[in-house]
Structure 1
Amino acid sequence: MNPRPAVVARRLIVLGAAAGVALGVWPADRPRRIGYISFFPRPSSGAVPVFDAFFAGMREQGYEEGRDYVMDWRDTGGKPEGLDAHAAALVADGVDLFFCLTTGAAMAAKRATSAIPIVFSGVSDPVMSGLVPSLARPGGNLTGMSAVDDELHGKRFELLRELLPQAREVAVLWMPDWVVNRNELTQIEALAPRLGIRIRRVELNRVEDIAAVIPPLGRTRTDALFILPAPWHVYSSAELVTAATQARLPTIGVERYHHAGGALLTYGADIAALARRAAGYVDRIFKGAKPADLPVQQPQTFELLINLKTALAVGVAVPSRLLLRADEVVR
């Protein structure tokens, strides 16, 4: 383990409503404050692998929670609104750094400050969402780990074809108000025909519309529901997947929260590994590096997650070759 950093960091202090920033010297014996905004309260240890991975990554860098840093956790109680207010409050309280695990949280932090460093991890597409202008040169006060790889959607549809070899039409659930989805949908519509699959666009902007949008799909020729990520899925994936399962639609997810919500098959970046790597960026910033000089990194490892309970409910037999390759199987 590395020794506890001896470098004296500069602390950004926000003063008053004008948010004027003054640079001060940070006492070496005071724990650094990391602001974290979320839809949910902090989980207990072991409940969510991604948080445990971040804390493990911090320990690898020589930091112990409580001794070297404290997490200032603010949550919205599972409600979609409130991230901006929490981000602004943390800025006013003078946190030293933001750590964000969702695109929505990172965007709220960016709206709240252009000075305090922000490290994100596992976000959908930091360029398309407007978090950074480019991966190589993020500029500004944000950097971190992206969950996007150019080949991911192609791999997901190959897996879908293995799971459902007779599938001819796939409904792609997307959120028109979410800019990231537009680019992803364009990619999917370009690659799907090569696999003999038609794409049906299905718009869904909010959780309240699930009951009106999903059940009717079960009465069409749609063979599966492919779920593009949207901010509200973080806290409502279970409702979405339940509605699709009741409509006898196999669900293909792209984020671990889709798997947590019960999606039949999910393939995406290993977000726990990303969070562990993000701790290295936190360490470098604490030692004086600027976020603008740290390129956004892309995933190196990926996860195949399968839910056999959901498969049984929709009448799909998962091929043994997929089960053998799966990183996690819910039975």
Structure 2
Amino acid sequence: MAEEMMNNKQIILKHYVEGYPKESDMEFKNNNIKLNVPEGSNVVVLMNLYLSCDPYMRNRMKNLEDSYVESFTPGYPITGCGVAKVLKSGDSNFQEGDLVWGMIGWEEYSIVTPTQSFLFKIDHDKNVPLSYYTGILGMPGITAYVGFYEVCSPKKGETVFVSAASGAVGQLVGQFAKMLGCYVVGSAGTKQKVDMLKSKFGFDEAFNYKEEQDLDAALKRYFSDGIDIYFDNVGGKMFDAVLLNMKLHGRIAMCGMISQYNLKKTEGVHNLLCLIAKRICMKGFIVSDHFHLYPKYLEMIIPQIKGGNIVYVEDIVEGLKNAPKALVGLFYGLNVGKQVVLVSRE
């Protein structure tokens, strides 16, 4: 079989990163790629359409040890969740022309092993944007679903606090809580995002954490009787303040800690005694442990999207060369909603 050689634009990690990531830590390069499936191989050749920018990717820019996720390799393309089209396949579960989402390279074309990349076939409904499979219909969506329903065991009428609430996961957690009849408050980092939480996502209240000198006092202002459920996306000082305001038998889902990812030494937490005194259940979770729930999640969420009961905000930038800027912007709060990079149209 003749080998098809193509130019492949890529985003390369130049070196391991300390402190806040910079665009200069990544490099936009042209390489060649052979778009063929070796005989007997089960790899899949993909044309990448959308890439997802996610906070956890910052940790992969470090030289990690004993981590649930592997470090990126300097000199090679970084990887993350994305949407792609199958060009060629050595796996009988995927056919030429299929649309998929999973872990792919930050490049125009990727050659992946489906099991290692957690590839999911997309049954695409033209009434739903394909980019949604980087967000509400992809990893952030199932993350919000598992963290809220499975980890937090919510009940109607409970009080719920969500940090980084306008992000890819937080905006969904707040809406899930409202659907259940909970009282929901979110925190975000700009007035625009705070307004969006209340006007677009239906949060009962929201506040700008950057304007609060005393986070404990801010939480007491919105939760006079305490918090039943905290969905944590930021960690650090916010988490410490929340511990003081949790109710007896409260539940905390530890989803992410974006406030800590760029620090050489993470902030200490001083209020852990509250876990004992208030009999709080706190659980960390990794979404890949729960991918078996993905079909169940789709059955729930797609009718809600089509019925207009759930809204989702995306921040889409066009062009692979703009991906580093989009990723770095996450850590300065520049994105409004789910940050997505459009690489190529279907």
Q: Determine if the TM-score, normalized by the shorter chain, exceeds 0.5.
A: no
Greater helix fraction, Structure 1 or Structure 2: 1
**TM-score band, normalised by the shorter chain?**
0.3 to 0.5
